[in-house]
């Protein structure tokens, strides 16, 4: 006797039609207005996952998608090498400019800016804060997305 479960390819067309009317498949939960209000984004590096060209392309995709997202408000926090995104020599500088324009606020870690010698161009309206102050903010957010 064969007891392994059937895949959908092993069902007849009549069986699939019978189940199709009675089965609900939820892939992603529906977003409510509350889910789309404010998104806090912590960017730790000027790459995503790996410090290479591929990691920069992945981060570029994130930045582009945030620029076109339906969030009402985006607040961006930059720490460590993420602050390098504010440097005009960074390959993702233009994407960061766009995200900055779309964001309610961009907050950068003062210690990281100093460590990496990042000078912020006048194009950006960036608030600089100590890591101590940033930490006090970040531990309170339940709606925080961290890009590492």
pLDDT at 118 over 90: yes
For residue 86, give the CATH number of its domain: 3.40.1260.10
pLDDT digits (tens, 9 = 90+) for 45-103: 999 999 999 999 999 999 999 999 988 899 999 999 999 999 999 999 999 999 999 99
Q: Which residue has the tokens 């890591």?
A: 131
Q: Is residue 118 part of a domain?
A: yes
Q: Is residue 16 part of a domain?
A: no
Ramachandran assignment for 7, one of left (phi > 0), alpha (psi -120 to 50 degrees), beta (any other): beta
Q: Is residue 5 part of a domain?
A: no
136 pLDDT band (50/70/90 cuts)?
Answer: very high
pTM for the whole thing?
0.76
Q: Is residue 29 part of a domain?
A: no
Residue numbers of the domain that contains 111: 36-147
Counting beta carbons within 10 angstroms of the beta carbon of residue 39, is it exposed (0 to 12), middle (13 to 18) or buried (19 or more)? buried
Specify whether the CB–CB gap between 105 and 127 falls below 8 A. Answer: yes
Residues 6+ apart with CB under 8 A from 138: 40, 42, 77, 144
Q: Is residue 142 part of a domain?
A: yes
Of the given ranges (22-26, 39-43, 67-71, 132-136), which has the lowest mean pLDDT?
22-26
């Amino acid at each position: 006797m064969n007891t392994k479960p059937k895949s959908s390819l092993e069902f007849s067309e009549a069986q699939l039609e019978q189940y199709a009317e009675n089965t609900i498949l939820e892939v992603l939960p529906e977003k409510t207005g509350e889910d789309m209000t404010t998104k806090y984004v912590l960017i730790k590096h000027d790459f995503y996952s790996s410090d290479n060209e591929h990691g920069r392309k992945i981060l570029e995709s994130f930045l582009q998608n945030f620029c076109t997202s339906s969030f009402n408000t985006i607040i961006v926090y930059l720490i460590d090498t993420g602050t390098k995104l504010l440097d005009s020599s960074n390959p993702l500088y233009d994407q960061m400019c766009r995200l900055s324009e779309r964001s309610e606020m961009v907050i950068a870690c003062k210690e990281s800016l100093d460590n990496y010698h990042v000078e912020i161009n006048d194009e950006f309206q960036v608030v600089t804060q100590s890591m101590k102050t940033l930490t006090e903010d970040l531990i309170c957010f339940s709606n925080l997305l961290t890009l590492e």
